[in-house]
Chain A
Amino acid sequence: MRGWLSTGIRLPLAALAVALAAYPLILGNPYSFRLATLAGIYALLAIGYQLIFGYAGALSLAQGCFFGIGAYVSALLASRLGWSFAWSFPLSLAAPVALAALVALPVLRLESHYLALATLGVAQVALLAAVNWQGLTGGANGIAGIPAIALFGARVPDGWPLMLVVWLFAAAGAFLAWHLMRGLYGRMFHLMRENDIAATALGIDRARLRLAAFLLSALYAGAAGALYAHSEGVISPGVLEFPVMVACLAMAVIGGSARVSGAILGAVLLVHLPEWFRVLDQSYLIAYGAALLAVIIVAPWGLIGAVERLRARLLPELLPEPPAPRMTTLRARAGNAAARLLEVEGLAIAFGGLKALDGVTFSVRPGELVGLIGPNGSGKTTLVNVVSGLYRPSAGRIRFAGQDITETAPYRRARLGLARSFQSTSLVAEMTALDSVALGRAALEGTGLASALASGWRCAHLARARGHAMALLDALGIAAFAERRCGELPHGITRRVEIARALALEPRLLILDEPAAGLSAGEAADLRQHLQRLAQGGLTLLVIEHNMPFLMPLAERMICLDDGRLIAEGKPAEIRGHPRVIEAYLGRAAWAGGPG
């Protein structure tokens, strides 16, 4: 019981659901059934919207448009052509999904406001078409005489049966969304939303995730629109107007944007708000606006988020038993030691006239541990970003494991076995260390929608990935932190969690960008031991550091960058005595001190 209470908010949610179901039944009048039906339709709309807005983090303003299109398609097929619900319903889903697929290409690549305004543009065109294409849509008068839903040949009567049917659809949609997002797939979205670059570095294809969420959101909106048309019996261009979108956005934000329960709560609240506050009369949209503003300022995580926070404060979470480790073998896909694993040739890149890299050439052999040093601003991180694919070089080639990857997308490079860490922490604060590392398995377990659906009731992908993650946390000596959230971990531990996550990819080459930054001397020494052990296990490592005392005893070979150019290469002892390295680090003037 206590475990059930403290690992989520399932019990309060269940109580709330019962109360909601009881409410219209107790009132028992047709109007309360109608409102409850409407709430179910909006819940479905908002659950779909959460997939693109809450999970994918993309502010689409086309959800209202998809809803309207679903409603129009249903209305046209049912009232003009006399199609039965069993045939018109699937087409009402397909039409908005097809439109979403069509606009996804230009629109979905865009960031925040571009996406928002571009999707709004699509919605405006749809509205104009509905108003002006009178032959088809009936113009401003809309379409009347839409038959009620018929299931298995029987017409669903108004009142509680209709409410029940609509809520069954909503429940099915809620279950599908919840199931889809509770495993590894949902965590991929979470990481992508918080830090898309880190997600890409784990081989997660951001474009594909966003597309899946966008199409699914259109699917839900189409279903909601179809149910709306059938339950109201008449529609007008109003279903395509902006207030529908505003209501949907407000429901998602007020309820809580990445929780299925939030969408349901938001829909029920906002549909009933004008009823409960009769004084608002026609101005209920002002109240929507005010509530939206208040929630975004005071509780950006929404009502469900607020309840969860409250619960976490009152009843501290019990840490679940960590899973049993599953052995990961570090793929020593090394092969021929004389071959080159990574070859960089003549790399150059400039930012606004400043040459950040200028003809950098070097290579890494399988099984080697190479140190890359250079003073602040010398181009070390830029080099990592070019090799991992975040920046396109203006000149030069990169070969990895015998393959030219100069033009390869960054997530594909990760899947080829090129893993990297980041200078600043790239973990999601609310995610546990275990799940963060499990995400390193995303590319190996499959990042597609189909594989997420196929994951099964027990979320086999997540379970398997967690097993591997546990083994890696154990190997790095931080198994005790597995179920702790990354935001609460000490800095030294988070660095190791990030290394474990990169290792979960089973990389051929691991590039670490300043792994010792911000570590105390003791922590750094500890980390060094772990890296040494990994190297002995056959892992190829390229370690970027400015902290020379850390790197010197570790590296077999070192490369020094200065001002975007490679100025020295050799064994650590040679590098330390190299006049150009000394000059780069200590300045040009004659150095007075003797050798240390």
Chain B
Amino acid sequence: MELLQLIIDGVSLGAAYALVALGFVLVLNATGAVNFAAGDLVMAGGFAAVALAEAFPLPGLALLPLVLLLMAALGLVFSLLAYFPLMRRPPTAVFISTIALGVILQNAANAIFGAAPRKAPALLGEHLYHLGGLSIGRQSLAIVAVAAALVLAQHLLFARTQLGRSLRATAQDRETAEALGIPTVRMIALTFMLAAALAGAAGLLLANRYFVEPTRGNELIVSAYMAVVIGGWGSLPGAVLAALLIALFQVIVSAYASYTTATALLYAVLLAVLLLRPKGLFGEAIGRRV
């Protein structure tokens, strides 16, 4: 029974992780850039929710569209500062620029909101349902539902629409896409906006139960990154699935041992995966030409 309770908690945490990992992979696929600030964007989304809740005392679900919009705008700024000026440079340059932006975001949050953990409103209130021996928070269910809806929306956008096809074509071969008349600069900017919006949504979802503080992003980026490595570099469904598994592992091992043990074990798994498959579990799609 206790395990079942933990699984429910793990899935709701994993649903939020999945959104972070998804945003990370979208940018990765579209630009080849590893966004080190993905975790800090989650943190920014969390604080956006905190600030909005102070201005408008509404439930979290009502704030979600506003958070998505604000974060999409931040994503656009992000791409203009950290990606477009460095497009033709080696990937390390973009990696460092995202580290720099992450540092700026973290410390800006620290300056505005202070270092103490803050709490965002629950999506639909904090009611607890009792079911047999289980107590399931309405928030946990709402997190899973909102995350699932966002993942589904992203999937439909990419699979079913001409815009989605254009985004994917840009990600797979930018030069050819451009030569076929696809506006790739716009597509890449849009990808950054989408990724930031997804990260921001995750921030809103996490900031109720787990609170939000300026340095939250560092753990999140490592979790998201692990999800992407374990799920197969560049794979969207793999990232979502691995994010769920990682969260379950963290929640369950933390309960029976400690958070430190859980995290250390998780890193050990990551290192083992990298040792055995240095390019990720399923390898990178594009080989290197000599």
Contact = CB atoms under 8 A, between A and B. Distances in A.
Chains A and B directly touch (beta carbon < 8 Å): yes
B107 A125 contact: no
Interface stretch (B45-53, B124-132, B144-152, B271-279): B271-279
B274 A293 contact: no
A124 B229 CA distance: 17
Contact of A116 (B89, B95, B219, B226): B95
B92 A132 contact: no
A553 B218 CA distance: 64
A530 B260 CA distance: 66
Contacts of B96: 59, 249, 253, 292, 296
Nearest to B96: A296
A293 B222 contact: no
Contacts of B142: none
B267 A289 contact: no
A132 B258 contact: yes
A499 to B, nearest CB: 18
A444 interface: no
Contacts of B81: 293
Contacts of A128: 259-260, 263-264
A351 interface: yes
A351 B287 contact: yes
A395 interface: no
A352 to B, nearest CB: 9
A282 B113 CA distance: 13
Given A106-B274, A125-B263, A292-B103, A113 B218 contact: no
Interface in A341-388: 351, 381, 385
Contacts of B267: 121-122, 124-125
B222 A124 contact: yes
A290 B290 contact: no
Contacts of A112: 34, 91-92, 95
Given A128-B264, A283-B111, A292 B95 contact: no
B86 A296 contact: yes
B290 A289 contact: no
B225 interface: yes
Nearest to B224: A117
B136 interface: no
A289 B81 CA distance: 12
Interface in B67-98: 81-82, 85-86, 89, 91-93, 95-97
A296 B270 contact: no
A211 interface: no
A131 B108 CA distance: 25
A107 B270 CA distance: 10
A87 interface: no
Interface string B215-228: 10011001001100
A381 B271 CA distance: 35
A419 to B, nearest CB: 16
Interface string A97-137: 00000010111011011101110111011001101100000
A300 B100 CA distance: 14
Interface residues of B, number: 47
Contacts of A124: 218-219, 222, 263, 267
A253 B103 CA distance: 15
B182 interface: no
Interface residues of A, number: 46
A296 B81 CA distance: 11
B100 A107 contact: no
Contacts of A296: 86, 93, 96-97, 100
B275 A297 contact: no
B278 A109 contact: yes
Most buried by B among A107, A120, A132, A289: A289
Contacts of A351: 287
A288 interface: yes
A354 to B, nearest CB: 12
Given A112-B92, A296-B93, A297-B86, A246 B270 contact: no
Given A112-B91, A120-B222, A122-B267, A293 B107 contact: no
Contacts of A116: 34, 36, 95
A283 B274 contact: no
Contact of A285 (B107, B225, B260): B107
B99 interface: yes
A289 B104 contact: yes
Contacts of A117: 34, 222, 225, 229
A178 interface: no
Contacts of B226: 121
Contact of B103 (A110, A122, A285): A285
B61 interface: no
Contacts of A292: 96-97, 99-100, 103
B101 interface: yes
Contacts of A242: 215, 218
Interface in A238-263: 242, 246, 249-250, 253
Contact of A118 (B107, B111, B270, B290): B270
B94 to A, nearest CB: 9
A113 B33 CA distance: 9
A292 B98 CA distance: 10
Interface in B240-290: 258-260, 263-264, 267, 270-272, 274-275, 278-280, 287, 290
Nearest to A133: B260
A358 to B, nearest CB: 19
A286 B290 contact: no
A420 to B, nearest CB: 11
Nearest to A118: B274
Given A59-B92, A132-B260, A300-B93, A286 B287 contact: no
Nearest to B86: A297
A286 B258 contact: no
A129 B226 CA distance: 20
A106 B104 contact: no
A125 B269 CA distance: 13
Contacts of A289: 100-104, 107
Given A106-B271, A116-B95, A246-B99, A121 B260 contact: no
A531 interface: no
A146 B104 CA distance: 33
A422 to B, nearest CB: 8
Contacts of B108: 283, 286
A286 B100 CA distance: 9
6 cross-chain pairs, A with B, having the tightest CB-CB distances, nearest first: A289-B103, A106-B275, A289-B104, A113-B34, A293-B100, A292-B100
Interface of B: 34, 36, 81-82, 85-86, 89, 91-93, 95-97, 99-104, 106-108, 110-111, 215, 218-219, 222, 225-226, 229, 258-260, 263-264, 267, 270-272, 274-275, 278-280, 287, 290
19 contacts: A59-B96, A106-B275, A107-B274, A116-B34, A117-B225, A117-B229, A118-B271, A118-B274, A121-B222, A122-B267, A246-B103, A249-B96, A286-B107, A289-B102, A290-B100, A292-B96, A292-B97, A300-B89, A300-B93
